[in-house]
Structure 1
Amino acid sequence: MPCSPRPGAVLTYRPAVFLRDHCHCAECVHEDTKQRLIETFDIPEDIAFKPEGVREEAEGFRVTWNDGHESFYSKEWLRNVGLKRTSRAVERQGLVEPVFWTGSSIKSSPPSISYDEIATSPTGVRDWLYLIRTYGFAYIPNTPATPEATEALLNLIGPIRNTHYGGFYDFTADLAKGDTAYTQLGIGAHTDNTYFTDPAGLQLFHLLSHTDGSGGASQLVDGFGAAAELYEVDREAYEILSTVRVHSHASGNEDSSIQPVTPMPVLVHDEIHGHLVQVRWNTTDRARVDAPVEEVGKWYAAARTWTEILRRREYWEQLKPGTPLIFDNWRVLHGRSEFTGKRRMCGGYINRDDFISRYKMAAWGRGEALRQVAQG
């Protein structure tokens, strides 16, 4: 099936069964849900074009198969699925060029977008999500200091994730749940949910009030920026934190003890393309380092170097009512200083896949997102 590739591209072989399986006609793919309707392994093993069964048209090729089915393949689609490319991560994960930051570089002008922009315009939602993809966090000033307005913000991205702590949370430091977040203690920089196989993608905090006390400043650290620095200054430490696995757990509630299906390294990379996709760092919820006794000292040395980098890159800010903070829990570490008095905080989690889906729909539109899916 002749179809000129882009200059410099390398074409790969696609067997007939692949092409038949990827027919996008209404008999093979549901027009609304875009789910495959054809049962792949009902396709005959000897599937092939009928003699003289390929006809070139202006935009593609019309094919008649030896099982009697007719398919149409656009030239653009054939070019894309035939190219041997190094990565589909941009399409699959909605990647953007990240801006790495430190406390000193971001303090004077942190990413923010007003509540009114987000609440009243689809482009506002798109710009909000783009800020989060680029910087890993964003403030939303001028938000009504109510749980209802805060929950509505989260719902603009996707369904709020339920965990053993509940769904949308509205709490004070009363130890209602078995976690140090429900105390007045200071908490070091960490990512949440290391005890889950699939940690939450986003977390939002909104300080509704803080009375009769002080303290409780919020801390953020760009984990991807810290990882890039570690890679440059200590390649061996980076490799150790990328390969040695660590056990984690959540056992503070009387009715649960949660661990991921497998221990995970601190720095998690895309297994196909190799880029960093997630930081999992929580010394409070950490259990055993999954390494031989004679090797575990190397992990502690690497983790100490990592911690020193995190501390150098800290960004501190005092949250205030009316300005929620949302951040990428796969990239940005968070913490807080000790406080006195009574604080009321609300917020919630959004699943990673829901976050990325919403970003792609807002940034590209449904048509382009589905076109990327159709390319395989």
Structure 2
Amino acid sequence: MTSSAKVALSDDGKRLILDLDGRSRELAAMWLRERSPDAETLDPGTGQRLIEAAELPLDLTLLHAECDGDALALRFSDGHATRFPLAAVVADDTGPSDIVPGRTLWDAELSGPPRADFAAAVADDAALLEMLDGLHRYGVALVSGVPADEHGMQALIDRIGPLRHTNWGGIADVKSVANAYDLTMTQRGLEPHTDNPYRDPIPGYIWLHCLTNAADGGDNTLVDGYRAAQVLRERDPAAFDCLTRVSPRFRYRDESTWLESEGPLIELDSQGRVSRVRFNNRTEQVDALPADELERYYAARHAFYALITSEELTVHLKLDPGQMLIMDNYRLFHGRRAFELAGGVRHLRQGYVDRDSTASRRLTLRHQLTDITTPEEVA
């Protein structure tokens, strides 16, 4: 890697031009200075910045830059000198992409979600990391061997992060009941959707544990929302753009709860990449926007819905007792077919775990079990 690396400075010294791996990159002197990976700038233990970056002089320049093995040797106009690993520059520069890095998109051709064994993931860090890596990459994991009791999944939740408690408690039943407070507690089919877009923050991961599934029907449906957004962008760019701009509200109310939030059906990150999707027909509340804007939105939503309900993108599966799905609620659309209780009981249990604890567990395990040290390297 280093043999082909070349560096040069702009005439004013405010930029470093790096040619590496067949690509040319321009790096701001200020960016390199505030991220200098030395003990004077960053705390070796926490990685947190020790200098006040906002106090660095705005006319800061690079006085010298050269390749030194696998690093850049840099000297700045404020007198600071450091060695900046080339690998860190490459890892931070993910390049152009429509989707956040580190994900594998899929459609109906997916042979099945990544699989994991419950007992192994509870007992062994390597098995847990393999499960979390698959969940991160595909947005879903299928876990088998979960104890067939009401809190059977708790031991694995405890390995990752705290259970998210809501107005429904912690782990809640998903089965048909009289006077249901939510349509999930009925026998009707459910359209592809994301859970709880009316919360702030929205729950990050859905844990769905099957205790019994003898009812006729009730198969789960899974759709990769990132793939659906990508297809919409390719086939109908105007619809894609509309769904990234209009932010409907979502509302849930009962006698003791009133929850509201808002957000676009397709959310982009700061680099224009799809980072989150939403769809929840049961709770969506679109504001009275100008009529022409509403017409565009309804047409775009119609096109998106046609995709996420298409057989082209949908994976079908029926959980067996002792199986559990873990689903990325920022990425996956999930639903189910209607079911009839004449065939038997359908009883699942559901809980939520947030994204920060899940991501933290994956990254710390990766750091402990491998030589990889930065989040970018494990994306």
TM over 0.5: yes
1:255 aligned partner = 256
Q: Which of the residues 108, 114, 118 maps onto 1:115?
A: 118
Structure 1: gaps (5+ residues)? none
Q: Does 1:98 align with 2:104?
A: yes
SS, match of residue 255 in structure 2: coil
Render the CA deviation track for 1:188-221: whole Å, top value 9, x for unaligned. Answer: 110112113432221110111356x543222212
Specify the alignment match of 1:74 in structure 2.
Answer: 83
Match status 1:268 vs 2:283: no
Alpha-carbon contact 1:161-1:351 (below 8 Å) kept: yes
Superposition deviation, residue 359 in structure 1: 2.9
Query: Do the aligned residues in 2 keep the contact of 1:190 with 1:334 (CA within 8 Å)?
Result: yes
Structure 2 partner of 1:295? 293
Instruction: Verify the 8 A CA contact 1:220 1:332 in the aligned structure 2.
Output: yes
Corresponding position: 1:125 with 2:128: yes
State how far apart, in whole Å, the 2-side matches of 1:44 and 1:109 are.
54
1:312 match: 310
SS of the residue corresponding to residue 10 of structure 1 reads strand
What's the TM-score once normalised by structure 2's chain length? 0.76
Equivalent position of 1:164 in the other structure: 167
Q: Counterpart of 2:303 in structure 1: which amino acid?
A: T
Measured against aligned partners, the alpha-carbon deviations of 1:306-332 in whole angstroms (never above 9, x if no partner) come to 222222233322222111111111121
Matches within 5 A, 1:24-63: 29-40=42-53
Matched residue SS, 1:99:
coil
Residues 227 and 238 of structure 1 are in contact (CA less than 8 Å); yes or no, is this contact kept in structure 2?
yes
Q: Deviations over 1:105-142 (max 9, x none)?
A: 23x54432222332232221222122223322121122
Q: How does 1:279-290 map to 2 (within 5 A)?
A: 279-289=277-287
Alpha-carbon contact 2:105-2:226 (below 8 Å) kept: no
Query: How far off is 1:144 after superposition?
Result: 1.9
What SS is found at the alignment partner of 2:239? Answer: helix
- Measured at CA, do residues 365 and 6 of structure 1 come closer, stay the same or move farther in structure 2, by a change above 3 Å? farther
- Using CA pairs under 8 Å that are at least 6 residues apart, name the structure with larger relative contact order, 1 or 2: 1
1:9 aligns to what SS in structure 2? Answer: strand
Paired letter, 1:144: P
Check whether the contact 1:11–1:83 (CA below 8 A) recurs between aligned residues: no
Please give the alpha-carbon distance, in whole angstroms, between the structure 2 residues aligned to 1:35 and 1:86: 22
Contact 1:136 1:331 in 2 (8 A): yes
Structure 2 spans left out of the alignment, 5+ residues: 1-5, 9-17
Q: CA RMSD in A?
A: 4.0
TM-score (norm 1): 0.77
Quote the offset at 1:354 in angstroms: 2.7
What amino acid sits opposite 1:255 in the alignment?
A: S
The structure that is strand-richer by fraction is 2
Q: Which amino acid aligns with 1:100?
A: W
- Report what 2:12 is aligned to: none
The CA deviation string for residues 282-314 of structure 1, in whole angstroms up to 9 with x for no partner, is 101101156312331222222222222222233
State percent identity of aligned pairs. 26
Q: Deviations over 1:1-38 (max 9, x none)?
A: x97745343343314xx666546555654443333344
SS of the equivalent of 1:315 reads strand
Matched with 2:203 is 200
For residues 209-288 of structure 1, the aligned pairs below 5 Å read 209-210=212-213, 213-251=215-253, 253-260=254-261, 263-272=262-271, 274-288=272-286
Query: What is the total number of aligned residue pairs between the two structures?
Result: 355
Shift of the 11–181 alpha-carbon distance from structure 1 to 2, 3 Å rule, reads same
Structure 2 residue aligned with 1:322: 322
Aligned partners of 2:239 and 2:56: how far apart in 1?
50
Q: Distance in 1 between matches of 2:170 and 2:97?
A: 30
Tell me the secondary structure at the aligned position of residue 334 of structure 1. strand
| Aligned-partner SS, 2:154 | helix
Residue 140 of structure 2 is aligned to residue 137 of structure 1: yes
